[in-house]
Structure 1
Amino acid sequence: MRTYTIGCAILIFLLNFCACKESPKEKESVKTQQKLPNIVFILSDDQAWTDYGFMGHEVIKTPNLDKLASEGLTFDRGYVPTSLCSPSLASIITGVYPRRHMVLGNDRVLPGDDKSVKPSWRSSWRPKNYDTVIKHFNTLQTLPKLLKEKGYLSFQTGKWWLGNYKNGGFDYGMTHGDPERGGRHGDYGLEIGRQGMDTLYNYIDLALEKKKPFFMWYAPFLPHSPHTPPDSLLQKYLPKAPTEYVAKYWAMCEWFDQTCGQLMDYIEEKGETENTLFVYVCDNGWVQNLDNATYNKNSKRSPYDYGLRTPIMYKWKGKIMPFRDTVNLTSSLDMVPTVLNLLDMDIPAGMDGIDILDKEALNNREAIFGEIYAHDFNTLEGSLFYRMAMTNPYKLILPDAENQPDETVKLYHIFKDPTEQQNLAEERPEIVARLKQMIQEDWKEK
């Protein structure tokens, strides 16, 4: 009797084991049935890397981004490849340097164009000149185009320089890009954040109604000028700021943070937080002048860290371990490859970034690069101002000999000298030579 009982138990165990063991096809079936994460890119506009609570600013309050930083994988030493919005945004969505996507500046100027006209009248010649730029851009892969393979719905809100949102592969968007109706860098899309979040909420609702994963491009015109914050925020910062101009800018930073909180709260209300990947970056930096509404020359459009450096954050609750990385250098070019690898998708040949979750690739990275062109550009060679190489711990700024003949080579120890005050180029010529060679080799590749 005892032998029979043991034999039955063994038989039952074997039957259960065989029933639970999956064939390779069954494993793949289970994998493909897993719910795909929503993906939200949050992009601030004209904000210095120092101007967040979690980055140590003593006055500016950014509680929502502070929370995102604490709950995600946060890189203190992130960079965008160029410090101007149009080329920077194009690099974020494509994962390639400006020299490959050819959106070199905000406006393209051809011989004979009247560059003295006021920006509000540039629509008379900009669309025609930018047409070839958009046609080339449309030959490239973008994240929304790639995500169609997985059934994603993609939504554009905020800044978008490349005409209609469809030029980026988005399914829906706010930017029409019609020059006859003021289309240049976002048009209707620029209302998001500043005039409420309803359109964005409606897009999220649409995706949930269709039971589709979504990709959201949230690139509001914040804290970008004009600095017109709510009065309650302005009054909060006026007593703390050295001038009213600074107070307005600080208030704009908190206003942007508030909209980020509204976006994340809405996703939480919909029960989608655990199934959403949030990625944060700033398109380029900004240092507010004390005595006028413009920016300091060492920030936006410059090759310095106040123009290029930005925190970059990745948060996917339960999937990406929270960690504050203060050492490794990362780039906005890494955002697309990282997303694709998380979705087990192939990374197209020619992309310039890496999967930052691949620790070996991150640790083996020797440098990341940057390039600055004229705001009003023509050809690549005729518009190039600077090339940069960022390493641990040195950064090289290499001016173009033809277009910036009065500029000198600059080398900074960006860990000891984060505000780039001491040029070490003459003291360390061997490092200058090595980083210059790295820049030249990178430009020869692909």
Structure 2
Amino acid sequence: MRTYIVIVGTWLLLVSGTAAAKQPNIVLIIGDDHGWDHAGFMDHPLALTPNLDEIAESGTVFTNAHNTASVCWPSLRTFLSGIHSAQWEQRRASIETSSGDIPYRRESAHFRTLPRELARRGYVSFEGGKFWEGTYLDGGFTSGMATSCCPGFFSSVGDQFGREGIDPFRDFLDTTEDAPFFAWLAPMLPHTPFNAAATYTDRFRGLGLSNLTIQYLANLLWMDDVLGEVLAELESRGLREDTLIVYASDNGWELGGFSGQTRGKATIYEQGFRTSLVFSLPDTVPAGVLRDDLVSMVDLFPTLLDFGGLPQVSGRWGRTLRPNIVDGTPTGTDQLAGQAAIRLNGEPPATIHHFVRGLDWRYVRNSDGTEEIYSINEDPDELNNQVVERSDILPEARAAVADFENKLSTPAALLDVAGRFVDVDAEPVAGIGLQLKGRSPEGRLLKLRTITGPSGYFRFPNLPHGTYTLSSRRRFIQRGELVYRGQAERRLEISLPWAQHGAYLPLVGNPRSEMERPGQIGLQGQVVDQNGLPVAGAMLSTPVGYGRWLDVLSDQEGKFDFDFLNPGVARIRVSRGPVRGSKVVSVEIGDESPAPIVIQVKRRR
């Protein structure tokens, strides 16, 4: 549990022991076409996965996690951005409608991604293996293997990671120095081509298995050896104890090969969506725990941010699993709904199918309107359609599908405007002062200020729907012009909601001079009133030097967070909105992010 420090006066001195948990390194390992129970730790009779078993035994496994798609590309988008694959398409369409076409596979440059968010707390990042969203820079990584985009529809630069060794990851580790790091390692295994060496295939011959099954299991063992190399490298550098290792597959697999996928990959059935989700961090994540809680892979994004000391991104559906992992508490999820573009009976074109997963049943609504219900615990392969016998489930399942569709079209009440500022040479520019002005639908005038962080990132969080203008000043950039998608503007107009998820703006400008470098320390907290109730919409402000300020708004739970603070005393003014008068508190900031604070104010009558 986190410790919260309550401020009722005006001064708070943080003493030893109140710092937030140390930021771990984060290594996300992504299997490709790996069936959810095809592992030794799942007691599978054929799969050999000793290194994955070691990770699982040293941590906590959610055996009932579900991807947002049953094929790789849309599923990986959820890993990267935390939004459902259907929401990704919404956002891309909205950007193209407002600002013109986005080059093929380059839209990740317009999304808030894991490496971009983690960079706010000083993380450096590496992309290795299957990515498929343009270059590593498009995705927000500081280094990687995808140095150019997309030589073919089913390939990208860097796909050979793992199959041709892990030296690029080793080279990256040589450069990290003392910074925390995030690594995306996706070795495109056990995916085809099934070309594992004989030392792997020979392990499965003579068992009466089909050749496709032998090849799949051999590729799976090959992948496990790649995991072993990664583990050995972390151990040899003394990094394993401080590294959160996460494993999941981008989609499932039905033994027998792709030609036999009647209930696996690229279908609407559970074998295609389900994955085991593994977390391992010594002395933090309980070891040897297998859990069957229902989990959606939209939860991965906020969970990794939470481990990295960052709050949830507005407009995302997922929720952090960190408290459930660390404390062993149930997730409380009893139902998951989703959709995917599937070829009905394997024939093009792909059309939208829906599913709902309950605790002991699974509902399918095909694009032609036909419905299916399976008792999933007794019939995991979904072969016995019980839509008649279990028709009592239909109202609940249909309502869940309707709720899912409604969520797709309903934006969150509060959204962010975020982005990254670089110069004409694509180098990040730190310390630039930015200002956002606007008016909410209720007529409330808002004027907020922020700065760009060490990696050029900026953020205005928890904004109500409305129209805003983003600008800078000539003291920071030449002519005060911001360039977005090739167009130079003194004031960039932004309307929220924008594609349901707020705005992410890659900006270019010519800085006048190097500003004092901002810090990378964050501060989180909550504003409450005299009765202990959360205060939403309060403005919190702190100066950061050279006439620059950080302004943030508290969210619906009264929570707030600041980025880019330096060690020292942060003087925070709480005012406006529902706050009566104003209050100034001082917080001592050390070399690490302090524990969350609670600021008590008087609410306006």
TM class by smaller structure: 0.7 to 0.9
The reply on whether 1:426 has 2:394 as its aligned counterpart is no
* 2:335 aligned partner: 367
Q: What's the CA shift string for 1:234-256, capped at 9, x where partnerless?
A: 11212224222221111111110
Which residue among 183, 187, 202 is the counterpart of 2:156?
Answer: 187
- Native 8 Å contact 1:87 1:103 kept in 2: no
Counterpart position of 2:375? 413
Q: 1:315-326 maps to which residues of 2 (within 5 A)?
A: 315-326=280-291
Query: Structure 2 vs 1, CA of residues 130 and 255 (structure 1 numbering), >3 Å: closer, same or farther?
Result: farther
1:174 alignment partner, one of 145, 152, 156: 145
Q: CA deviation at 1:358?
A: 3.3
Deviation, structure 1 residue 130? 7.0
Secondary structure in structure 1 of the residue aligned to 2:40: coil
In the alignment, the residues of structure 2 paired with residue 320 and residue 238 of structure 1 have an alpha-carbon distance, to the nearest angstrom, of 38
Distance 2:51 2:382 in 1: 29
* Superposition map of 1:213-292 within 5 A: 213-289=180-256
Coordinate RMSD, CA, aligned: 2.6
Q: Distance in 1 between matches of 2:119 and 2:58?
A: 29
| 1:323 CA displacement | 4.7
Match of 1:206 in 2: 175
- C-alpha change, 1:150 and 1:184, in structure 2 (3 Å) is farther
Q: Is the 8 A contact 2:116 2:141 kept in 1?
A: yes
CA deviations 1:44-99 (Å, max 9, x no partner) are 00111231111222122101111111111101111111101000000111111111
- Which residue in the other structure is 1:441 paired with? 403
Contact (CA 8 Å) 2:105, 2:132: kept in 1 or not? no
Q: CA deviation at 1:283?
A: 0.4
In 2, Cα distance between equivalents of 1:129 and 1:234: 46
| Deviation for aligned residue 1:165 | 1.4
Paired with 2:172 and 2:272, the residues of 1 have a C-alpha distance of 32
Q: Matches of 2:101 and 2:211 in 1, distance apart?
A: 39
**More off after superposition, 263-272 vs 326-335:** 326-335
8 Å contact from structure 1 (residues 240, 247) kept in 2: no
Counterpart of 2:525 in structure 1 is none
User: How much does 1:363 deviate?
Assistant: 3.6
1:369: Cα distance to partner?
Answer: 2.4
Report if the CA contact (8 A) 1:103-1:133 is conserved. Answer: no
Counterparts of 1:367 and 1:76, CA distance in 2: 15
Are 1:58 and 2:45 matched, yes or no?
Answer: yes
Q: How big is each residue's C-alpha offset from its partner over 1:361-394, in whole Å with a ceiling of 9 and x where there is no partner?
A: 854323222221158xxxxxx9542111112122
Contact 1:275 1:316 (C-alpha < 8 Å) held by counterparts = yes
How far has the Cα of 1:193 moved from its partner? Answer: 0.7
Deviations 1:289-316 (A, max 9, x none): 37xx744232111111211111101111
Higher strand share: 2
* Aligned counterpart for 1:308 among listed residues 266, 270, 273: 273
SS of match in other structure, 2:37: coil
Q: Which residue of 1 aligns with 2:261?
A: 296
Tell me if structure 1 keeps the 8 A contact 2:132–2:156: no
Q: 1:28 to 1:414 in 2, by over 3 A?
A: farther
* Counterpart Cα distance in 1 of 2:24 and 2:332: 29
Question: Aligned pair in 2 of structure 1 residues 441, 263: CA closer, same or farther (>3 Å)?
Answer: same
Measure, in 2, the Cα distance between the counterparts of 1:328 and 1:392: 9
Tell me if structure 1 keeps the 8 A contact 2:263–2:381: no
User: Structure 2: where are the runs of 5+ without partners?
Assistant: 1-10, 92-99, 344-348, 412-605
Structure with higher helix content: 1
> 2: distance between equivalents of 1:50 and 1:103?
33
Residue 129 of structure 1: CA displacement?
Answer: 8.6
In the aligned structure 1, how far is the partner of 2:114 from the partner of 2:266?
25
Q: Deviations over 1:104-129 (max 9, x none)?
A: 9xxxxxxxxxxxxxxxxxxxxxxx99
Give 1:109-120 correspondences, 5 Å limit: none
For the residues of structure 1 that align with 2:104 and 2:149, how far apart are their CA atoms?
A: 16
Q: Calculate the TM-score normalised by the size of structure 1.
A: 0.80
The equivalent residue for 1:76 is 63
> Greater shift after overlay, 58-67 or 48-57?
48-57
Aligned-residue identity in percent: 27
Judged with a 3 Å threshold, the aligned counterparts in structure 2 of structure 1 residues 235 and 103 are, in CA distance, closer, same or farther, namely farther
Is 1:147 aligned with 2:112? no
Pick which of 74-83 and 281-290 moved more. 281-290
Cα pair 1:299 1:305 within 8 Å, conserved: yes
Q: Give the conservation status (yes or no) of the 8 Å contact 1:176–1:187.
A: no
SS in 2 for 1:189: coil
> Closer, same or farther in 2 for the Cα pair 1:366/1:138, shift >3 Å?
farther
Does residue 13 of structure 2 align to residue 25 of structure 1? yes
- Report the Cα distance in structure 2 between the residues aligned to 1:350 and 1:431, rounded to whole angstroms: 30
- 1:224 offset after TM fit, Å? 0.6
| Higher RCO (C-alpha 8 Å, min separation 6) | 1
Q: Which amino acid aligns with 1:435?
A: A
Preserved contact between residue 288 and residue 294 of structure 1 (Cα < 8 Å): no
Equivalent residue letter for 2:160: E
Distance 1:26 1:397, change over 3 A: same
Aligned pair partner of 1:88 in 71, 75, 82: 75
Q: 1:161 aligns with which of 110, 132, 148?
A: 132
Q: Distance in 2 between matches of 1:314 and 1:170?
A: 22
Q: Distance in 2 between matches of 1:186 and 1:31?
A: 44
* SS class of match (2:158): helix
Q: Using the alignment, how far apart are the partners of 1:284 and 1:95 within structure 2?
A: 16
Q: Secondary structure at the match of 1:168?
A: coil
**After TM superposition, what 4+ stretches of structure 1 lie above 6 angstroms from structure 2?**
none
